[in-house]
Amino acid sequence: MKKLIIALAASAALMGGFSTGAVAQEKKKVCFIYVGSKTDGGWTQAHDLGRQQLDKALGAKVETPFLENVPEGPDAERAIERMARSGCSLVFTTSFGFMDATVKVAAKFPDVKFEHATGFKAGPNLATYNSRFYEGRYIQGQIAAKMSKKGVAGYIASFPIPEVVMGINAFELGARSINPNFKLKVVWANTWFDPGKEADAAKALIDQGVDILTQHTDTTAPMQVASERGILAFGQASDMIAAGPKTQLTAIVDTWGAYYIKRAQALLDGTWKSEQIWDGLKDGILTMAPYTNMPDDVKAMAEETEAKIKSGELHPFTGPINKQDGTAWLPAGEKAQDGVLLGMNFYVEGVDDKLPK
Amino acid sequence: MFEAILLTVITASTPLVLAALGELVTERSGVLNLGVEGMMIMGAACAFVAAQLTGSPYIGILAGILGGGIFSLLFGFLTLTLVANQVATGLALTILGLGLSGQIGEAFVGQPGIKLQPIVFPFLSDIPFFGRVLFRQDLIFYVSIALVVGINWFLFRSRTGLKLRAIGDSHASAHALGINVIRTRYLAVMFGGACAGLAGAQLSLVYTPQWVENMSAGRGWIALALVVFASWRPWRVLAGGYLFGAVGIGQLHAQIVAQNLGIVIPSQFLSALPYAATIVVLIIISHNRRTTLINTPASLGKPFVPDR
């Protein structure tokens, strides 16, 4: 209810903004829909940073209106449609949960171009773009296995969708490549954004004996708890070093800017095509925050893994890999297909959590 | 470990109890203010900004209380003086609060906050378990408990409290008796705002000492529901708030324990548990229709225009 009202209010505010914008003529509108607040210190902030870079690079030719705090679900459809109606030429919808809403609106507005982040449904005027976050999580897993004294890490997860499950698996695979007995405890917060609940999840994991934390939720609250309790942690989506100067080992930093500029340029040039992009560390859509609070040999290992992933020498999902119950999944030497990863609904060996069927 | 869990529960429950207590007094006077979420987030923003600027979390607390209290005056003016619809105004207050707090806090996003430190009672805090849990808390926790006792006494044992309840039950009769309905309601609304502001201060100074937009994440709405399910009784608000907090924290631990034991419990089910458990328990507590009716402010949400 609350979010609905915010969305409505925000759309109303935006409509006001558009009517004045229309006078400024000729500028193309590249619009953004955010699931959270643009200053959340994590996921949405990373997208907004990308939007600002786009504004800076092509500000003379494009406008970049955005809607923040748009809830996933039916309200999202309304918000996206409002954007489409208001003259946007290209709309980026930046959360997995906007997928079906984006598909519906894209079908209604064939002349408007849409790009949906992290989803798997495309169309003639609907592209998808994603980042290979799992590459970063594999590196984190390796670092965790080196740095954890107890051999158990805690993972604050949001929702059991393939993206998150893939991240958990990549982390565990990285950890097991160093310590074959490494354990991973998962707590589902069932939210992307709730500082209090994320902090509670962090405390629960620490009280249950983990000594390294990683998160797939959006705020810096878990980092702050880790820092208070004197354990180590990984940042998510944005560099969270300010929340834990002595705590953060590294962070997966989403760097969408270059991609947004590239696609907006394609729109201006008339060369925009619906594609399904899945870029990784080597393309710069994802970078690792500086490796800190670790000894030099661990840092060297992390850098080496990063270089190997970039060069294509190492793919985190390379067999032999067993499923959680010990049955064989990937034969030795084989790399997982992208399609399989994007629909991942099972754990690999070593994860303690059980996925609800 | 049990002690650590209990500490987490206290931190999670305190803001709910505080905001619900304030709303309870407001509603007992017959005013329905749905703007708790907005007042709470305003309190969180004001408290954080003030604490960052002065370096003192106590000034932050004060700013949180003032922020929520002054913000609620806007609601008071619209609904009591201008007799606007309370439901619509309350919702508007929430929207405004969420937006305004974002503006106030914008320059402070990402700054590490100052955590309010506990006040340790000598001797009492050395009592094993309960002493260590209850007497090494921050000021806001002590205030929340004092408020439960104080409000219970005020409403049911004091003359002014009786007048306030009379207004909530029948503002026309109270007015006829010469009680100043509008003034009392203004004070009740401001008290509600101040409590919500204090709850907000707890969020940005104790729970997660930082400022992020929307950081209250719906807690104001939970507090609102608590008041109704606790049938407007302070002790039940306390019980309901702690039950919600305890089940919420407990389910996180249950997830890990289930993993250790190899049991599958859908996390979505566990996440819904605090809501379900709190509703069920409070319904059982308030199952007596007659006493519930007695406790429900009969004029709740109805506009009052003094006849001239």
Is B306 domain-assigned?
A: no
The per-residue pLDDT for range B5-48, each reduced to its tens digit, is 999 999 999 999 999 999 999 999 999 999 999 999 999 999 99
Tokens at B89, concatenated: 């105004």
Q: What is the mean pLDDT of residues A308-329?
A: 94
Cross-chain residue pair B249–A200, CB shorter than 8 Å:
yes
Beta strands B136-137 and B119-120 are antiparallel
| A7 band by pLDDT with thresholds 50, 70 and 90 | low
Cross-chain residue pair B4–A207, CB shorter than 8 Å:
yes
pLDDT at B285 > cutoff 60: yes
Residue where the block lists tokens 């670092």: A143
Instruction: From chain A, pick out residues whose CB is under 8 angstroms from the CB of B271.
Output: 188, 190
Question: Which of B217, B214, B112 shows the shortest CA–CA distance to A224?
Answer: B112
pLDDT at A11 > cutoff 60: no
Mean pLDDT of chain A: 90
CA distance A305 to chain B (A): 30
Q: Which of B1, B91, B212 sits opposite A195 (nearest CB)?
A: B212
Beta strands A113-117 and A276-279 are unpaired
Tell me what pLDDT residue B199 has.
98
Question: Which of A340, A308, A346, A306 shows the shortest CA–CA distance to A325?
Answer: A346
Cross-chain residue pair B253–A208, CB shorter than 8 Å:
yes
pLDDT at A16 > cutoff 60: no
Tell me what pLDDT residue A18 has.
45
Is B31 domain-assigned?
A: yes
Tokens at A307, concatenated: 């270089």
CATH code, B121:
1.10.3470
- Evaluate whether A206 touches A227 at the Cβ level (below 8 Å): no
Tell me what pLDDT residue B267 has.
84
State the best of B91, B94, B208 to mutate against chain A, taking most chain A CBs within 10 Å: B208
Per the structure, the count of domains in chain B is 1
Is B257 domain-assigned?
A: yes
Question: Which of A74, A70, A54 shows the shortest CA–CA distance to A2?
Answer: A70
Length of chain A: 357
Tokens at A224, concatenated: 């702050």
Tell me what pLDDT residue A15 has.
46
DSSP state letters, B112-152: --PPPPPEEPTTGGGSTTHHHHHSEE-HHHHHHHHHHHHHH
Q: Which of A2, A37, A224 sits opposite B221 (nearest CB)?
A: A2
DSSP state letters, B44-79: HHHHHHHHHHHS-HHHHHHHHHHHHHHHHHHHHIII
DSSP state letters, A200-259: HHHHHHHHTT-SEEEE-SSSSHHHHHHHHHT-EEEEEES--GGG-TTTEEEEEEE--HHH
Tell me what pLDDT residue B283 has.
84
In this structure, what are the phi and psi dihedrals at residue B45, rounded to the nearest 5 degrees? -65, -50
CA distance A75 to chain B (A): 16
Cross-chain residue pair A201–B5, CB shorter than 8 Å:
no
Instruction: From chain A, pick out residues whose CB is under 8 angstroms from the CB of B265.
Output: 356
| A9 band by pLDDT with thresholds 50, 70 and 90 | low
Tell me what pLDDT residue B10 has.
97
Q: What is the mean pLDDT of residues B72-95?
A: 96
CA distance A269 to chain B (A): 36
Q: What is the mean pLDDT of residues B77-96?
A: 96
Q: What is the mean pLDDT of residues A73-101?
A: 94
Is B86 domain-assigned?
A: yes
How far apart are alpha carbons B63 and A188 in whole angstroms? Answer: 35
DSSP state letters, A286-319: EEEPP--SS-HHHHHHHHHHHHHHHHTS--SSBS
How far apart are alpha carbons A94 and A115 in whole angstroms? Answer: 8
Q: Which residues of A fall below an 8 Å CB-CB distance to B?
A: 1-2, 5-6, 9, 36-37, 39-41, 69, 160, 185-188, 190-191, 193-197, 199-201, 203-205, 207-208, 219-221, 224, 228, 242-243, 352-354, 356-357
Task: Please return the burial class of B32, using the count of CB atoms within 10 Å of its CB with bins 0-12, 13-18 and 19+.
Answer: buried
Q: Half-sphere exposure (CA, 13 Å, Cβ side) for A267?
A: 29
Residue where the block lists tokens 């954080």: B48
| A42 band by pLDDT with thresholds 50, 70 and 90 | confident
Q: Which of A41, A205, A219 sits opposite B256 (nearest CB)?
A: A205
Question: Which of B150, B177, B181 shows the shortest CA–CA distance to B164?
Answer: B181
Compare all CA atoms of chain A with the CA of B212 and give the residue at the minimum distance.
A40
Domain extent for B242: 2-295
Task: Please return the burial class of A124, using the count of CB atoms within 10 Å of its CB with bins 0-12, 13-18 and 19+.
Answer: exposed
Instruction: From chain A, pick out residues whose CB is under 8 angstroms from the CB of B111.
Output: 242
- Evaluate whether B60 touches B202 at the Cβ level (below 8 Å): no
Beta strands A212-215 and A66-67 are unpaired
The per-residue pLDDT for range A114-152, each reduced to its tens digit, is 999 988 899 999 999 999 999 999 999 999 999 999 999
How far apart are alpha carbons A194 and A201 in whole angstroms? Answer: 11
- C-alpha angle A91/A93/A95, rounded to 5°? 170
Instruction: From chain B, pick out residues whose CB is under 8 angstroms from the CB of A201.
Output: 252
| B128 band by pLDDT with thresholds 50, 70 and 90 | confident
| A5 band by pLDDT with thresholds 50, 70 and 90 | low
Cross-chain residue pair B4–A191, CB shorter than 8 Å:
no
DSSP state letters, A43-85: HHHHHHHHHHHHHHHHTTTEE--EE-SPPSSHHHHHHHHHHHH
How far apart are alpha carbons A350 and A323 in whole angstroms? Answer: 9
- Sequence-distant (≥ 6) Cβ neighbours of residue B30 within 8 angstroms: B167, B168, B169, B171, B185, B297, B298, B299, B300, B301, B302, B304
Q: What is the three-class DSSP state of B14?
A: helix
Tell me what pLDDT residue A25 has.
53
Task: Please return the burial class of B81, using the count of CB atoms within 10 Å of its CB with bins 0-12, 13-18 and 19+.
Answer: exposed
Question: Which of A78, A107, A76, A110 shows the shortest CA–CA distance to A93?
Answer: A76
- Residue B49, CA distances (Å) to A250, B34, B37, B57, B61 in order: 29, 25, 18, 10, 11
Tokens at B63, concatenated: 């700013």
Helices (H), A59-161: 74-85, 99-108, 133-147
Q: Which of A6, A69, A196 sits opposite B203 (nearest CB)?
A: A196
pLDDT at A153 > cutoff 90: yes
Is B62 domain-assigned?
A: yes
pLDDT at A19 > cutoff 90: no
Is B308 domain-assigned?
A: no
- Evaluate whether B17 touches B237 at the Cβ level (below 8 Å): yes
Compare all CA atoms of chain A with the CA of B217 and give the residue at the minimum distance.
A194
Is B220 domain-assigned?
A: yes
Q: Which of A39, A191, A354 sits opposite B213 (nearest CB)?
A: A39
The per-residue pLDDT for range B175-221, each reduced to its tens digit, is 999 999 999 999 999 999 999 999 999 999 999 999 998 899 999 99
Which range has the worst mean pLDDT, A88-102, A339-353, B29-43, B194-208? A339-353
| Percentage of chain A exceeding pLDDT 90 | 79
Which range has the worst mean pLDDT, B9-13, B107-111, B222-226? B107-111
Compare all CA atoms of chain A with the CA of B38 and give the residue at the minimum distance.
A2
Instruction: From chain B, pick out residues whose CB is under 8 angstroms from the CB of A66.
Output: none
pTM reported for the whole predicted model: 0.89
Compare all CA atoms of chain B with the CA of A41 and give the residue at the minimum distance.
B110
Instruction: From chain A, pick out residues whose CB is under 8 angstroms from the CB of B5.
Output: 204, 207
Tell me what pLDDT residue B274 has.
92
| Percentage of chain B exceeding pLDDT 70 | 100
Element at B294 (helix H, strand E): helix B289-295
Beta strands A328-330 and A286-288 are unpaired
Question: Which of A256, A266, A264 shows the shortest CA–CA distance to A118?
Answer: A256
Q: What is the mean pLDDT of residues A216-236?
A: 94
Q: What is the mean pLDDT of residues A251-260?
A: 94
- Evaluate whether B291 touches B241 at the Cβ level (below 8 Å): no
- Residue ranges and CATH numbers for the domains of chain A are 2-131 (3.40.50.2300), 134-253+288-342 (3.40.50.2300)
Q: What is the mean pLDDT of residues A279-293?
A: 95
Cross-chain residue pair A196–B207, CB shorter than 8 Å:
yes
Instruction: From chain B, pick out residues whose CB is under 8 angstroms from the CB of A185.
Output: 256, 259
- Residue B80, CA distances (Å) to B170, B185, B197, B274, B305 in order: 15, 8, 21, 35, 8
Eight-class DSSP state of A334: P
Tell me what pLDDT residue B254 has.
93
Q: How many inter-chain contacts (A to B, CB under 8 Å) are there?
A: 130
Instruction: From chain A, pick out residues whose CB is under 8 angstroms from the CB of B221.
Output: 1-2
pLDDT at B159 > cutoff 70: yes
Tell me what pLDDT residue A339 has.
87
- Sequence-distant (≥ 6) Cβ neighbours of residue A140 within 8 angstroms: A171, A174, A214, A234, A249, A250, A252
Cross-chain residue pair A224–B208, CB shorter than 8 Å:
yes
Is B267 domain-assigned?
A: yes
